[in-house]
Amino acid sequence: MNSVALIVTYNRLTKLKKCLEATLLLSFDHIVVVNNMSTDETMQWLTTQTDPRLHILTTKQNSGGAGGFKYGSQYITSNLQTDWVFFFDDDAYPTLNLLNQFEAFNKKNYQLFCSKVLLPSGKLCKMNIPYKKVPYSVYQTFLYNIFPRKFLPNFKQQEEVETFSFVGAIVHQNILRQYSDQIDEKLFIYFDDILFSYYLTRSNYKIHLLPQLVFIHDTNVNTNIYKEKKLYYLVRNLIYLRKKQYSPFSKLTIFLRVINILILCIFKGRKIRSIIYFLKGIKDGLLFR
């Protein structure tokens, strides 16, 4: 089984070092690191790495996780001979037995997989949980808020899901070769992986969750995005999705989600700057830019 690790990094050298250390322990045939034009010492450190499996790519500008994964995917499909591509961010890393467990699984009927993503504490990382069924409509979104288990997978068993997170996604090269253009770099961050995987699902491909495959995501899930620039992308991208052919959410659902973000922004952000980012996200989302 030939495999490639695809890692996107930007200004998180300390976490990248840990990520790469764990990745190099596994028998990946190639390890592609996309440096999103980091402004810290990432590039200098990467030039000191000598493992022959490493491919260091540097973008011309910071294109976010979406742009980085698209750039890396297209490099892999054009330059490397492989079967499987494993996606993850610089603040995540695979567990030691991940490749052996994946190789042992009968992959005959699937070309798309996703993993279980845990925090360092051992708890599920909520931001990386796939949808077993996307709550597309207003009614489904209402049910999701009351009975989330109807829409989320049971991590005690293998099952099919409709989306995946780019942390722990495993994609066959044939899929990337045909569909990497569907990774929308305009999204920068947020919903890029959901949109891409939902597109593949609607194109009649099946995504299989393998909970025995574990990634660790060393992130702070309690970070308050309503006080930071991430709020802009959250709002802009939601509105942007309304014009996508395979949007995972209906237009009315998108509207209600944006209203909910505004309410949270007011009560959790509690800063004029948060409202400014929210309004900028609304403007650019409506202008589709």
Query: Domains of the chain (ranges plus CATH)?
Result: 3-217 (3.90.550.60), 225-286 (no CATH)
pLDDT above 80 (res 271):
no
Q: Which amino acid is at 83?
A: D
Name which of 105, 58, 56, 64 is nearest 84 in CA terms. 105
What is the pLDDT averaged over residues 255-284? 85
Which is it for strands 92-94 and 30-35: parallel, antiparallel or unpaired? unpaired
Say if residue 155's pLDDT is above 70: yes
226 pLDDT exceeds 80?
A: no
pLDDT tier at 36 (50, 70, 90 boundaries)?
Answer: very high
pLDDT for the residue 225: 67
The string of pLDDT tens digits covering residues 75-109 is 999 999 999 999 999 999 999 999 999 999 988 88
pLDDT band at 270 (very low <50, low <70, confident <90, very high): low
CA distances from 266 to 26, 226, 258 (A): 45, 8, 12
Residue range 175-194: average pLDDT? 95
The per-residue pLDDT of the chain, averaged, comes to 93
If DSSP codes are grouped into helix, strand and coil, which group holds residue 270? Answer: coil
Confidence of residue 269 (pLDDT cuts 50, 70, 90): low
List the alpha helices (DSSP H) in the chain.
Answer: 13-24, 42-46, 64-79, 98-104, 138-146, 173-179, 192-202, 230-240, 251-264, 272-286
Q: What is the pLDDT of residue 229?
A: 80
- What is the pLDDT at residue 223? 63
pLDDT number for residue 196: 97
Between residues 139 and 229, which one has the greater pLDDT?
139
Quickly state the pLDDT bin for 267 (edges 50, 70, 90). Answer: confident
Q: State the pTM of this model.
A: 0.94
pLDDT above 90 (res 263): no
Res 275: pLDDT: 85
191 contacts 164 by C-beta, under 8 angstroms: no
Q: Which residues contact 56 (CB under 8 A, 6 or more apart)?
A: 33, 35, 46, 47, 49
Residue 162's SS3 state is coil
User: For residue 264, what pLDDT band results from cuts at 50, 70 and 90?
Assistant: confident
pLDDT exceeds cutoff 70 at 6: yes
Q: Is the pLDDT of residue 288 over 90?
A: no
Q: How confident is the model at residue 134 (pLDDT cuts 50, 70, 90)?
A: very high
Strands 3-9 and 30-35: parallel
pLDDT at 91: 95
